[in-house]
Amino acid sequence: MAGSSGHGGPLHGRAVPFRSHQGLMRRAAVAARPDEILLQIDPVDGGLDHEVVGGLGRQVHQLRDVAQEIDREGKFQNNMLNQLQLILIKARAGVKNNGRRLNESIVQHGSNNVIHIIVFAMICFFLVYLWYKISG
């Protein structure tokens, strides 16, 4: 059985034609590359054809469903990413506007803030000096 084929033809290369008990046959082809296998369904078992076609049809349907789910998830994540980008653009614009307002406020009111900080530091230093003199 392994040495000869029931369908004729010489053996090519290392491939040995065989006939399986499920009605499938593998044989070496004359023009085929060494990594290719020809698969032929034997018409003796017609139920196998329906089983193979039905199984492949179910698998194709399942793969189509998975592909559609992946597509929906991709669209959902793309929409979410676009919304996040819009939020980020608005936040950047808000920070830029607030920074501009702060700069305008500092320019209009002068550098009184620096004077206030120096006065506060001198009062703190004076209080620490008094506390040190009283307790010491």
Positions of the chain with pLDDT lower than 70, given as ranges: 1-34, 37-49, 110-111, 136
Phi-psi group of 110: left, alpha or beta (phi > 0 → left; psi -120 to 50 → alpha; rest → beta): left
What is the structure's pLDDT at 32? 55
Cα separation, 74 vs 102, in Å, equals 42
Using DSSP's 3-state secondary structure scheme, residue 10 falls into: coil
Please state, in angstroms and as integers, the Cα–Cα distance from residue 89 to each residue in 52, 56, 99, following that order: 55, 49, 15
Question: Could you tell me the pTM of the whole model?
Answer: 0.41
Structure tokens belonging to residue 92:
């950047």
What is the structure's pLDDT at 104? 86
Cα separation, 15 vs 29, in Å, equals 9
